[in-house]
Amino acid sequence: MTGTTLGYRGPWGTSYPANVRLEFAHISEDDWLFMVRTRGGHWPMIWHNLRFLSVTDRRAIYRFVKHLGPAGSQAPADLPPDTEPKTPYIWVVPSSKP
């Protein structure tokens, strides 16, 4: 819930898990519900998985994380495919097999 500087690198570039405890300090519950409905997501957090939850469950997630309060540091910004990360990372190679 506090993100990390460990990146996930693949064909899309390098992405980092967001620090949702810091993000939730600045967004409303309605903003969270909108984000879940509209974000496409990328590794390591694929947002469409949250869409399978009921609105009640999504609200419960928001309220739980909000209750924890802000903590940790901001995660690094995502990087494009042609930029070598300066942080440790895991290579994620998507499989062509289902």
Residue 1: inside a domain, yes or no?
no
Residue 73: inside a domain, yes or no?
yes
Tell me which residue range forms the domain holding 85.
Answer: 7-91
Residue 28: inside a domain, yes or no?
yes
Cα Dmax for the chain: 41
Average pLDDT over residues 76-82: 95
Residue 98: inside a domain, yes or no?
no
Tell me the pTM: 0.78
- pLDDT of 1 higher than 90: no
Residue 57: inside a domain, yes or no?
yes
pLDDT in tens, 15-71: 998 898 999 999 999 999 998 888 876 666 667 788 889 999 999 999 999 999 999
Q: Residue 7 in contact with residue 90, Cβ under 8 Å?
A: yes
Residue 27: inside a domain, yes or no?
yes
Residue 97: inside a domain, yes or no?
no
What integer pLDDT is reported at residue 3 of this predicted model?
85
The domain total for the chain is: 1
- Backbone dihedral angles phi then psi of residue 32, each to the nearest 5 degrees: -60, -45
